[in-house]
Amino acid sequence: MNDQQRHMWTQGRVAWPDVDLPLEALAEQHASGAKEAFAADLYLAAACGRGVPEALAHFRAAYEPALRRAVGRQLPEAQVDDALQLVLTKLLVGREGRPPAIRTFGGRSRLATWLKVVARRTASNYLRDQHPEREVALEEAAALADYAARDAALGPLKKSYREAFRTAFAAAIADLPPKSRNLLRYECVDKLSRRQVASIYGVTEVTVSRWRAAMRVELRTLTRRHFVRDLELGDDEFDSAVGLIASQLEVSLSRLLRETDDD
């Protein structure tokens, strides 16, 4: 044990007088480059990692609300409780035979900052596990197509045109490359925000926005192509139909692919 470790242990005892931690335990967790400004954080973390009840109580009171907020920024509300429990288990109990992750906090930074990084990483992994990359299933494609065909924007169209649109839209989804189909599912089926999709792919929200825009253009182009190809109309009726669907098709697709990015 060196002088810095002893000094940080003393500061920690002052900050948390009801938390009993042997000097050896802090020295064991003390990392090279630890800063005395974070002595209280290191003392509490070391005590939590060893299951000291008073330390765990202080930890939950001081940090659990911030951990919930960090998790909530990346996950739908319905998944926050489960993911937060996963974060706390990883930090304070350990998972899959590993010791509590809080034992790896060495005092080089503020504990609050370190915890947010752990929470965000764990939430991203949780989200990826809950929404694995898979293509839009056939029944999902059909459901999306039915939804689009029922859109009020297509009201002026003949019933036969609406059916042709439904068929064309389902065929367009099938023609999308796998990544575009995944983006479509995340947006229209899973209702994930830009931030949540960015967490799954490990990219920025700007990149996700660019991908989504390209997917929409691709889907509209393919839908128009299939719609025109599949309609069996005479020349006059064809010209009339094209004029009628041009704006309505755009409105219906735009509604279906409406932004879910409310963060």
pLDDT in tens, 168-226: 777 787 788 878 887 887 777 667 788 878 767 777 889 989 998 898 888 878 877 77
Is the same domain home to 152 and 114? no
Domain with 197 in it:
138-256
**Amino acid found at 78:** A
pLDDT at position 21 is 94
Is the same domain home to 99 and 153? no
Is the same domain home to 126 and 154? no
Reduced to 3 states (helix: H, G, I; strand: E, B; else coil), residue 63 is: helix
Distances 207 to 98, 177, 210, 221, 223 between C-alpha atoms, Å: 35, 17, 5, 21, 24
Asked if residues 118 and 126 have their Cβ atoms less than 8 Å apart, the reply is no
Is residue 81 included in any domain, yes or no?
A: yes
Distance CA 200, CA 126 (A): 9
Residue for token pair 């932004």: 259
Asked if residues 53 and 35 have their Cβ atoms less than 8 Å apart, the reply is no
Q: Provide the whole-model pTM.
A: 0.55
Q: What is the mean pLDDT of residues 227-248?
A: 53
Asked if residues 176 and 212 have their Cβ atoms less than 8 Å apart, the reply is no
Asked if residues 171 and 226 have their Cβ atoms less than 8 Å apart, the reply is yes
Distance CA 58, CA 244 (A): 66
Domain count, the chain: 2
66 or 249, which is more confident: 66
End residue of a domain, out of 97, 130, 163: 130
- The model's pLDDT over 54-65, given as tens digits with 9 standing for 90+, comes to 999 999 999 999
Among candidate residues 223, 210, 121, 116, the one with its CA nearest the CA of residue 165:
223
Is the same domain home to 104 and 186? no
Buried/exposed 194-209: b ≥16 CB within 10 Å, e otherwise: bbbbbbbbeeebeebe
Is the same domain home to 119 and 230? no
Is the same domain home to 80 and 190? no
End residue of a domain, out of 75, 104, 130: 130
Distance CA 82, CA 39 (A): 31
- Tell me: pLDDT of 236 over 60: no
Is residue 262 included in any domain, yes or no?
A: no
168-172, long-range: CB < 8 A, 24+ apart: 168/223, 168/224, 168/225, 168/226, 168/227, 168/230, 169/144, 169/145, 169/223, 169/226, 170/141, 170/142, 170/144, 170/145, 171/222, 171/226, 171/230, 172/219, 172/222, 172/223, 172/225, 172/226
Average pLDDT, the chain: 76
Distance CA 198, CA 127 (A): 11
Task: Give ∠ CA 213-208-149 in degrees, rounded to 5.
Answer: 45
Is the same domain home to 101 and 190? no
Distance CA 103, CA 28 (A): 9
